[in-house]
Amino acid sequence: MRPSHIAVIGAPLDLGQGRRGVDMGPSALRVAGLNARLKSLGYQVEDLGNIPVEQAEAAPAGDARAKYLPQIAAACGALATRVEEALHRGGLLVLGGDHSVAIGTVSGVSRHFRRDGRAIGLIWLDAHADMNTPESSPSGNIHGMPLACLIGLGPAELVDLGGYRPKVAPHNAVIVGLRDVDQTEKPRVRASGVHAFTMRDIDERGLRAVMEEAIRLASEGTAGFHLSLDMDFVDPQDAPGVGTPVRGGATYREAHLAMEMICDSQRMTSLEVVEVNPVIDEGNRTAGLAVELVMSGLGKRIL
């Protein structure tokens, strides 16, 4: 996404997880100066506001294996439509919300390129695999299922959004930063065809080598890749205000390097940032870091 028009869409969804507060993530990112910082890079920013999302207090949780499924499906459907419309005008940045919003974002991006007969890749920067299904999930929280849904596994209401599956071919989907996987989820990750780079891979090979391979895999035979940045990719020392923090994540500089390499590749089609929770943050520090990382992904350089 070279400096040009960029649409910003908020998706204040927190129905996908048990800990409340990530619905305020879009506001936290805007308060941290996101739009002004984007303009400083030369982007023409069009903030489209937030999609409508039901509140947990106003809706029953429903099936304990997939809580708030109808409400999440409705929100993701609305987001997919807004995303597809925005991409016709230029670049795209979606602000979550919990990671279930990615079902809507990626569905809209996939549909946009599918009209021209092109596929997309996906880079998933995350501590978690997010590849549970209602049958395997220990919690029933849908924010642990979006990547599975996008490669064609899970509830039909989410998997078939837009009328087709999968939204991304497994061999073009890459997880980076993985370090917390449910026991029931591990066999699916191994068998899925999705490429998973754990924190051990980063420790042994270095972030640069891992990101080079991730970019190559997500780019092969595609129009480019969507980047889904869960802020728990970063270690909680630098990003304390996230939905599900896990120790041992990417350092401050590793996170910036990942985003700088993604920008250098010129293969990113669209971007989202999720799981910022200002309720448990320290002075909006995590939202501030998220804005910094977005800037690195969209062209900011040290020199």
**Active-site pick, 23, 84, 99, 226:** 99
Catalytic status, residue 232: yes
Return the structure tokens found at 126: 């995350």
**Active-site pick, 14, 84, 235, 275:** 275
Residues 6+ apart with CB under 8 A from 22: 13, 14, 96, 97, 98, 243, 274, 275, 276, 277
Ramachandran region, residue 140 (left: φ > 0; alpha: ψ -120 to 50; beta: rest)? left
Task: Report the distance separating Cα 153 and Cα 232, nearest Å.
Answer: 23
**Active-site pick, 23, 130, 185, 281:** 130
5-11 and 195-198 strand pairing: unpaired
**Active-site pick, 112, 143, 226, 256:** 143
**Active-site pick, 14, 84, 98, 128:** 128
Q: By three-state DSSP, how is residue 92 classified?
A: strand
Contact 202, 177 (CB under 8 A): yes
Closest CA relative to residue 104, chosen from 89, 91, 118, 86: 86
Task: Report the distance separating Cα 303 and Cα 146, nearest Å.
Answer: 37
Catalytic status, residue 128: yes
**Active-site pick, 230, 254, 272, 281:** 230
Which helix (H) or strand (E) segment is 3 a member of? none
Angle between helices 285-297 and 252-265 (to 10 degrees): 30
**Active-site pick, 23, 84, 98, 126:** 126
**Active-site pick, 23, 180, 185, 232:** 232
Catalytic status, residue 230: yes
Sheet with 195-198, side-by-side order of all strands:
44-50, 5-11, 91-96, 268-274, 225-230, 121-125, 173-178, 195-198
Catalytic status, residue 201: no
Task: Report the distance separating Cα 280 and Cα 128, nearest Å.
Answer: 19
Catalytic status, residue 130: yes
Q: Which residues are known catalytic residues?
A: 99, 126, 128, 130, 143, 230, 232, 275
